[in-house]
Amino acid sequence: MRVRHTFISMNLRPRNQVVAVGLLGLMIVLIFGGVYLSQIASYATINRQTGDLITERDELERKNELLRGQIAEIETIPRLLDRAQTLGFRTADAADIRHLVVQGYNPNRSRTVVPLNANELTNQTPAYDETFSGWVQQQIDNLRRQFEGFGGTSS
């Protein structure tokens, strides 16, 4: 009997239920609003910091360009010649030039690094095999030549 009396006395009136649900809804709205405002404040702070960093980057790029311009101005040929003169250097005359003789060097050699005419160029071009087996065979031949080169130097 007591238990039933307890449940009956806890029965809320409909008006009180509406007020409780309204307060609960208001609390939920306030919580979500606070979370939303904190996120917006965080976003605004990061946005401001990003803007400051972009401004700083642009300023540093501008300063770098000014420094590059100053370096280019300092490295001009007339300025370098003036600086060399102040250091005691002067232009070389024919009497100042000394020729060195290098043993074994032949300036009139017939072989050059780059072919001088088209006939030499076509004769020196290697045969190109466009198959995979041709490429593998070429790699094996190159490896064999390397090992032969190692064996030839020791004997």
**pLDDT for res 118:** 59
What confidence tier does 54 reach under pLDDT thresholds 50, 70, 90? very high
Task: Answer yes or no: pTM beyond 0.75.
Answer: no
Residues 115 and 121 sit within 8 Å (Cβ to Cβ):
yes
Cβ neighbourhood burial of 115 (10 Å; 0-12, 13-18, 19+): middle
Q: What is the rounded CA–CA span in Å between residue 17 and residue 10?
A: 12
User: How is residue 49 written in tokens?
Assistant: 């910091």
Map out the domains of the chain as residue ranges: 26-74
pLDDT over 50 (residue 23): yes
The pLDDT mean for the chain works out to 82
Out of 5-9, 79-83, 116-120, least confident range: 5-9
pLDDT over 50 (residue 18): yes
Q: Which residues lie below 8 Å from residue 138, measured CB to CB, with a gap of 6+?
A: 129
Q: Which residues lie below 8 Å from residue 137, measured CB to CB, with a gap of 6+?
A: 129
Q: What is the rounded CA–CA span in Å between residue 70 and residue 64?
A: 10
Higher pLDDT, 144 or 6: 144
**pLDDT for res 7:** 47
